[in-house]
Amino acid sequence: MEDIIKLLLTDYTLRNVAIGASILGLVSGSLGTFAFLRKESLMGDVVAHSSLLGITLIFILTYLLTGMGLKNEPMLMLGAVISGIIAMIFVSKITSDSRIKSDSAMGIILAIFFGGGMFLLTMIQQSNIENKAGLSSYLFGSAATISHQNVWMMSVLGFIAVLLMFIFWKEFKVHTFDPDFGETIGVNRKNTNLLIISVIVIAIVIGLQAVGVILMVALIVAPPSAARQWTNNLKIMTIISAIIGLVSGLIGAIASSLVSNLPTGPTIVLVATFIFIISVLFSPKRGIISELIRKYKDKRRILISLALSDMYYLEMNHDDRMSFGHSSKVIDKMNPINYNIQKSLTIMKSEGLVNEVAKDNWKLTDKGIDRAKMIQQEKGN
């Protein structure tokens, strides 16, 4: 751990990559919450892929104006932001003015914008334009090329996006869960929707250099999907999602620097995916393992309730109930429901509810009688 901290403090490249990836994870995790809850996770895919068209158009535009290709990061990011926002505006327009559903509209716009971006990128690569090298890195990301200037730009844009989320938290929340109610209390649906789209676009665009167009959608989807497994509270979910994104970015950046030939972008995505899998399996309320445990406990409780009720009925209707027990076969015949009486008796014995007074001769303990009475009261008998 000390070596890693020392490396972070002394290695310029690793420090920039780690800080940039952490900022990216925090911003995309927190803002991705709204895309996830609005059931528009595909929005991240559309924006990320559409941004390639804006990047290539800005590069070509600067070449036409100056006579050379200029890879000015702020200008390229501006092109990506504008392209992403326009793409989502087209999606909203198609959805509202036609019978085409949102996911279909997103698929159409994604194909058009990404196809246009790939076409222009291929043209640029086959041309004689100077400084064209590196544009293709926006497809899969190139975290190692993140500079101090890039980190500052990511910090400023990310801060603006998160600040807007906090300022318009009430509007974001109402529009996400009930836009019709929002309109009745004065929340402008179109403006709020545009603002949500804009901040999500910013969150995606700042990560293009580190993660790339192809993988960026994972950082919008995975952290909030994992966070949703742990809570039903929007604020807590947003915080958890931001933390998961930050941790994924930091761990991914450090791991890729310690292992040779390990790309940073895919590593960050794999860490986020791993956290998502752990959340899906082990979260206390929604986790698959937790659900299996709950079902096992419910089944066990039902088995005990059935056996206790049957034994209680037998003992209460037997003349010599103080000393006489009953065999498992007799107890099993009491109930038309076919359940494992031997397993039930074993469980009840371990909990001190029954005693085996002789071989296969079972009798309720005082604790078992009290539990059986409670079950009868719950049934209304």
Q: How far apart are CA 282 and CA 285, in angstroms?
A: 9
Q: Which amino acid is at 251?
A: I
Crossing angle (nearest 10°) for helices 341-350 and 288-316: 90
Two tokens, residue 248: 């994924």
Q: Which domains does the chain have, with CATH numbers?
A: 2-283 (1.10.3470.10), 290-379 (1.10.10.10)
CA distance readout (Å), 70 to 29, 59, 73, 81, 89: 31, 6, 9, 18, 28
Per-residue pLDDT of the chain (381 residues; tens, 9 = 90+): 666 666 666 666 778 788 888 888 899 899 989 888 887 767 777 888 888 888 888 888 887 777 666 667 778 888 888 888 898 888 888 888 888 887 788 888 888 988 988 888 888 888 777 776 666 776 666 666 677 777 888 888 889 999 999 999 999 999 888 888 888 888 888 888 888 888 888 888 887 777 777 777 788 889 999 999 999 999 999 999 999 999 998 898 888 877 777 787 888 889 999 999 999 999 988 889 988 888 888 887 877 887 788 787 777 776 555 556 777 777 777 766 666 777 778 888 888 888 877 787 788 888 888 888 887 777 665
pLDDT at 318: 66
Structure token digits, residue 125: 């690569």
| Tens digits of residue pLDDT in 240-291 | 999 999 999 889 888 887 777 778 788 888 999 999 999 999 998 888 998 8
Measured CA to CA, the distance from residue 26 to residue 34 in angstroms comes to: 14
200 neighbors 44 (Cβ within 8 angstroms): yes
pLDDT tens-digit map of 27-61: 989 998 988 888 776 777 788 888 888 888 888 88
pLDDT at site 11: 67
On whether the CB atoms of residues 219 and 211 are closer than 8 A, the answer is yes
Cα 57 from Cα 51, distance rounded (Å): 10
- In order of 302, 303, 329, the CA distances from 311 in angstroms are 14, 12, 12
Sort 132 into a burial class: Cβ within 10 Å, 0-12 / 13-18 / 19+: middle
pLDDT at 226: 93
221 DSSP assignment: H
Tell me the chain's radius of gyration from C-alpha atoms.
30
Q: Closest Cα partner for 179 from 31, 97, 188? A: 188
* Rounded-to-integer distance, Cα 364 and Cα 354, Å: 4
pTM over 0.85: no
